[in-house]
Structure 1
Amino acid sequence: MISVRQLKAARVLLAWSQGDLAQASGISEPTIARLESTDGPVRGRPDTAAALVGALVKAGVEFIPENGGGAGVRLRKRKR
């Protein structure tokens, strides 16, 4: 499960708006805005979170699990 902060950070890394994420994931922009208006883990239906994460991963984001240094996100290295 990812956090709302990870979701927002992933969008920022990609320079995506909520509308961009909506288009890439098939989840409505109002739903994304509602999910991002809270803090903590991304709430809602599991398939909604999976669609959001899937779109971000496909675009090049890696979600980093809690490993003692905190959960986070980063961009995948591009292959040369």
Structure 2
Amino acid sequence: MITSAQIRAARALINWKQTDLSKAAGVSEMSVKNIERGTTDPRVSTLEAIRTALEAAGVSFLADGETTPGGPGVRLR
């Protein structure tokens, strides 16, 4: 699953605010805020909706160690 750090980084790459992501993913803005803060244990379906919205906007998610050492990350396609 994607991490809160990946979500924040992905938003920064495409210059989206939390409201932009919440609208694109069809989730509440409060859900996005809480996920990014790490103050909630989100549903898998919520994370999938967020990932799908960010991927549709051109973000690729990288697993831990997928391209270089250092943990999970993001990049633009």
Q: State the Cα distance separating 1:43 from its structure 2 match.
A: 3.2
Q: Distance in 2 between matches of 1:58 and 1:66?
A: 21
In structure 2, stretches of 5+ residues that fail to align are none
SS of equivalent residue, structure 2 residue 16: coil
Q: In 1, Cα distance between the equivalents of 2:12 and 2:52?
A: 16
Secondary structure of the structure 1 residue equivalent to 2:53: helix
> Deviation digits for residues 14-64 of structure 1, max 9, x if unmatched?
00000000111101101111111128xx83111000000000000000001
The match for 1:31 is 31
- Give unpaired runs (5+ residues) of structure 1: none
Secondary structure of 1:62's partner? strand
**Structure 2 CA distance, aligned partners of 1:55 and 1:72?**
16
Q: Secondary structure at the match of 1:73?
A: strand
Percent of pairs with identical residues: 42
Q: Does residue 6 in structure 1 map to residue 21 in structure 2?
A: no
Deviating 4+ runs (over 4 angstroms): none
TM-score by length of 2: 0.89
Equivalent-residue separation in structure 1 for 2:48 and 2:3 (angstroms): 12
The CA RMSD over aligned residues, in Å, is 1.6
Once residues 31 and 6 of structure 2 are traced to their aligned partners in structure 1, the CA distance between those partners, rounded to angstroms, is 17
CA–CA separation in structure 1 for the residues paired with 2:26 and 2:52: 11
Aligned residue identity for 2:13: L
> 1:61 aligns to what?
59
